[in-house]
Structure 1
Amino acid sequence: MVVSRRIGGQAPHLSWFLRRLEAQGLAAPVDRAPPARLPPDWVGIELADCWLDLGRDGDLPLAERMAHCRDTGLDLVELAGDWLEPAAEHGFMLLVGNAPAPASAAWRVLDALAPRPGCWLHCGPTHSARFCQRVFAAMQHQGLSALPTPDGSPHPLDWEKMLQTQWLIAEKLRQLAEDYLSSQIGHPPPYPSPLPDEVRHFAANLARGILLTLPEEAALRAWAERIDAVLQQRG
């Protein structure tokens, strides 16, 4: 299958994405790529009617690219994830914001990049993929920090430090969720019933779940003070 495309920008993961597309039989035209209509420093894949954004910067630059694409007559599909070179063979774990229409060229590209067709996560509108990646990265960091040291030697369990680290990450997750719902969705909780259409997607549900699950900062601080008091009594 041939899909007209142009690789834009400079980044190590671009070559991995290109190798994956070629391995999945999604060839580019043999004559030449389509002429560039977007700034050359943008990182991603330009299709005939769509820009697959692979940038790893912040929300403001993404919003600026989205506005530029809209003025140019292109859709923008946001892609986020922790991309590693082995994915060029096995497929990328893709988080997708503003997913393209089914059966479109962009949809076929996503299916080719993923481990299997359809094995990519539609997170919601633009900016949702970045939010989900930040949440997943924080949870992964916390999980890795709880693993034993590589040398395998026994170490005393510093549960107080571990708990403080968990509280810190919990508060960061709360801040991420609140910022996403306020700045990107425009509907901070509580929500009416039935839910508005703009909060009926994965990223909004993830943010709402974080706020419903994690205690407020004041409650975390109160728990920490109670634990410190108990430790001082035992000391």
Structure 2
Amino acid sequence: MVVSRRIGGQAPYLSCFLRRLETQGLAAPTDRDPPARLPPDWVGMELEDCWLDLGQDGDQALAERLALSRDAGLGFVELAGDWPAPAAEHGFMLLVGGAPAPGSAAWQLLDALAPQPGCWLNCGPPHSARFCQRVFAALRHQGLSALPTPDGSPHPLDWEKTLQTQWLIAEKLRQLAEDYLSSQIGRAPPYPSPLPDEVRHFAANLARGILLTLPEKATLREWAERIDAVLQQRG
């Protein structure tokens, strides 16, 4: 199958993406290059009807690309995730913001890049994929940092220090959730029932779940202070 596309920008993972597409039989046309309608330094793939954004910068830069793409009459699909080189063989874990229409060229590219067709997460509108990636990265960091460095000897788990780190991560997750709901949804929960359409997507549910799960800020601060006092007593 041939899908017309133009590669934009420079990033180490772009070659891995291209290799994955080729191994999945999704080749680019060899007789012509599609004309560029967007800045050449953007990182991603320009298709006939949309821009597949692979940038790993901030929200403001993403918003600017989104606006320029729409001004050019192109759809916009945001991709976020960790893209190691071995994924070129096994498929990439893709977080998608602004999922394309089923059967479109962009949809076919996502299916080819993923481990299996359909095995990519539709997070919601643009900006939602970045939010989900930040949350997952924080949770992964917490899970790995709680484990002691293996040295061949048994070590007791420092529960107080582990809990202290968890409270710090919890507060960062709260900040991420509040920022996403305020900046992208425009209002904070609680929401009326039935839910408004703008909060009926995975990222918004993830943000709401974080806020519902965590205790009130004052309670969380009190718990953190108690744990800190215990650690100080232990020296």
For Structure 1 versus Structure 2, the TM-score category normalised by the shorter chain is: over 0.9
Task: Tell me the SS of whatever aligns to 1:12.
Answer: coil
- Deviant stretches of 4+, over 3 Å: 225-235
Task: Tell me the SS of whatever aligns to 1:123.
Answer: strand
Aligned to 2:77: 77
Provide structure 2 residue ranges, at least 5 long, that are not aligned to the other structure. Answer: none
Deviation string for 1:56-81 (max 9, x for gaps)?
A: 00000000000000010101100000
Aligned to 1:221: 221
Aligned to 1:25: 25
Q: Distance in 2 between matches of 1:17 and 1:99?
A: 18
The number of aligned residues is 235
CA gap 1:127/1:228 in 2 versus in 1, 3 angstroms: closer
Deviation string for 1:163-183 (max 9, x for gaps)?
A: 111000000000000000000
Aligned sequence identity (%) = 86
What letter corresponds to residue 119 of structure 2 in structure 1?
C
Q: Distance in 1 between matches of 2:94 and 2:152?
A: 34
Q: Distance in 2 between matches of 1:45 and 1:159?
A: 47
Aligned to 1:53: 53
Provide structure 1 residue ranges, at least 5 long, that are not aligned to the other structure. Answer: none
What letter corresponds to residue 53 of structure 1 in structure 2?
D
Aligned to 2:111: 111
Aligned to 1:12: 12
Residues 79-228 of structure 1: pairs in structure 2 closer than 5 A: 79-227=79-227
Task: Tell me the SS of whatever aligns to 2:195.
Answer: coil
Task: Tell me the SS of whatever aligns to 2:92.
Answer: coil
Q: Distance in 1 between matches of 2:190 and 2:39?
A: 41
What letter corresponds to residue 73 of structure 1 in structure 2?
G
CA contact (8 A) 2:54 2:79 kept: yes
CA gap 1:35/1:168 in 2 versus in 1, 3 angstroms: same
CA gap 1:48/1:233 in 2 versus in 1, 3 angstroms: closer
CA gap 1:231/1:147 in 2 versus in 1, 3 angstroms: closer
CA gap 1:57/1:230 in 2 versus in 1, 3 angstroms: closer
Greater shift, 111-120 or 26-35, is seen at: 26-35
CA contact (8 A) 2:164 2:228 kept: no
Q: Distance in 1 between matches of 2:65 and 2:202?
A: 23
Offset, 1:37: 1.0
What letter corresponds to residue 158 of structure 1 in structure 2?
D
Task: Tell me the SS of whatever aligns to 2:51.
Answer: strand
Task: Tell me the SS of whatever aligns to 2:45.
Answer: strand
Offset, 1:153: 2.4
CA contact (8 A) 2:2 2:27 kept: yes
Q: Distance in 2 between matches of 1:232 and 1:198?
A: 46
Task: Tell me the SS of whatever aligns to 1:189.
Answer: coil
